[in-house]
Structure 1
Amino acid sequence: MRLKDKRILISAAGQGIGRASAIACAAEGASVIAVDIDAGKMTDLPEVSGGRIETRQLDVRDADAIAGMAADLPPLDGLFNCAGFVHHGTVLEISEEDWAFSLDLNVTSMYRMLRAFLPGMLSRAEETGGVAVLNMASMAGSIKGFPNRTAYGATKAAVIGLTKGVAADFVKQGLRCNALCPGTVDTPSLRGRIASAADPVQAEKDFIARQPMGRLATVDDITPLVVYLLSDESRFVTGQAMLVDGGVTI
């Protein structure tokens, strides 16, 4: 049980990588607080986890709600900021409203979560010797440029900068902070983008074609690294942008 006795909060746990990570962490012994703006997507999580997952509704753009939850919960051992949005378009096609939304959800929400939960985590680190934060970045944009991913790439690059800053500020206090950079993962979010394309069949082929391994990642390709980075096995790893991209950036 690699996460035994650890209390871990995971955002965007209603679907995709967030949901799979909540289940994987619970299977490794963690007590998971799974949050999502749509609580209805998480109703089965307590049952499928044998009661190791507690679900709560949370809008990570709501600073007051985040602060209230942080005050209500005991200090965390792990925090996975997974919530995010993929905007499609070039810099000439991004409205100021779209830009502001992407920045708020993909970056500022992590700032809010860190501001609220970090004080308790630092006190917890004094007791246990270490706590871990994991922020969702991406291979797309932040590591390698892709067409029509300007807003997404800019925000995910900012996530890496945020991650390194937090890691540097608190490394001596027992806090590790890393960023996860997946390749193209077969999630409901991706399926929605494929379905909205002018030619969905070709869109899926294009997504697969940019993966050298010849397939999309599954959430099960990603969760082992999530567990590792939230566990004590990664106790000497901090400030890193960790790629799980199927060879895109070889």
Structure 2
Amino acid sequence: MIRLDGKVAIVTGAARGQGEATARLFAQAGARVVLTDRLEKEGRKVAAEIGAAARFIVADVSSEEAWAVLVRETLSAFGRIDILVNNAAISDHHGAAELEKARFETILAVNVVGPFLGIQAVLPHMLAQGRGAIVNISSVNGLRGNAGMVGYDSSKWALRGMTKSVAVEYGGRGIRVNSVHPGAIRTPMLDPAGTVDGALLSHMLRIPAARVGEPEEVAQASLFLASDAASYINGAELAVDGGWTAGLVVPDEIDPATRVSN
């Protein structure tokens, strides 16, 4: 297993789903982890289950003041910051004609401004150490467009671009910045009630892996990029999507003789 011994990580959106899985995995790998989320009850429960290696701090990632507190308390508890995983995000299902300006701004505040503020907040400490790893959780929607999700797609493309810009700016000073692009993952964002038939959904979406992914599979990608095993990987984008962005499976009911290729 890849190890993070001696490292301290901040994971946003860590009360459930991908963030929770990432915090748990990082702690198992030897890191001390600060979890943050607006869901205080859930977040404190996860941190308590992880144990002494974890702390929970309630925070709104779109707030500059919240980030100042988060960094200060992380340093007070653990003395350093080696890793930041910008996982917190909100989804939205509105097309360009229906999405209201206020809602669009809320999406950008959490999904784009939040990671930006987080990067700004940890940079001075990573620079002082001469090293650090930042993992931005984007989406397959940051690699291609999706009808009816203009706000979400815009935010995830923006995060992808931010990743590359900061990677280029600070790569020579020991800080690596990479993005992970999950596909259909069984989280509360995809499956709030926990009742989605993953096999059926993957068939409808034509995912080559023929299933939806699990939060732990995204966490494993973040673990790799955050670790010294990825020491020469910077500004990269890693799709964790069962091959979804590689291409779509042709439904079985389509006669091969009728398929059209360009």
Same fold? TM cut 0.5: yes
Tell me, yes or no, if the aligned pair for 1:3 and 1:30 is still in contact at 8 Å.
Answer: yes
Query: Which stretch shows the higher mean deviation, 7-16 or 214-223?
Result: 214-223
CA distance in 1, matches of 2:73, 2:26: 22
4+ residue segments displaced more than 6 Å: none
| Aligned match of 1:187 | 187
CA distance in 1, matches of 2:243, 2:27: 29
Query: Following superposition of structure 1 onto structure 2, how do residues 165-184 of structure 1 map, counting pairs within 5 Å?
Result: 165-184=165-184
Q: Which of 84, 96, 108 in structure 1 is aligned with 2:113?
A: 108
Query: Which stretch shows the higher mean deviation, 94-103 or 20-29?
Result: 94-103
* Residues 58 and 229 (structure 1), Cα distance of their counterparts in 2 relative to 1, 3 Å cut: same
- What letter is aligned with 1:249? T
| Aligned match of 1:95 | 100
Tell me, yes or no, if the aligned pair for 1:208 and 1:216 is still in contact at 8 Å.
Answer: no
- What letter is aligned with 1:96? K
1:193 to partner: Cα distance: 8.7
- What letter is aligned with 2:123? L
| Aligned match of 1:59 | 60
Deviations, residues 30-84 of structure 1 (Å, cap 9, x unaligned): 0000111111012332343242111111111221121122233323100001010
- Does 2:144 align with 1:144? yes
Tell me, yes or no, if the aligned pair for 2:8 and 2:82 is still in contact at 8 Å.
Answer: yes
Tell me, yes or no, if the aligned pair for 1:20 and 1:220 is still in contact at 8 Å.
Answer: yes
Tell me, yes or no, if the aligned pair for 2:199 and 2:211 is still in contact at 8 Å.
Answer: no
| Aligned match of 2:222 | 226
Tell me, yes or no, if the aligned pair for 1:14 and 1:35 is still in contact at 8 Å.
Answer: yes
**Counterpart secondary structure, 1:43:** helix
* Residues 109 and 240 (structure 1), Cα distance of their counterparts in 2 relative to 1, 3 Å cut: same
Structure showing greater Rg:
2
| Aligned match of 1:43 | 44
Question: How many residue pairs are counted as aligned between the two chains?
Answer: 240
Gaps of 5+ in 1: none
1:93 to partner: Cα distance: 1.0
- Does 2:204 align with 1:209? yes
| Aligned match of 1:242 | 238
**Counterpart secondary structure, 2:116:** helix
CA distance in 2, matches of 1:43, 1:175: 30
TM-score (ref. length: structure 1): 0.90
TM-score (ref. length: structure 2): 0.86
CA distance in 1, matches of 2:153, 2:144: 8
| Aligned match of 2:21 | 20
Tell me, yes or no, if the aligned pair for 1:84 and 1:105 is still in contact at 8 Å.
Answer: yes
1:208 to partner: Cα distance: 4.9
Gaps of 5+ in 2: 247-262
1:96 to partner: Cα distance: 0.3
- What letter is aligned with 2:46? L
1:194 to partner: Cα distance: 8.9
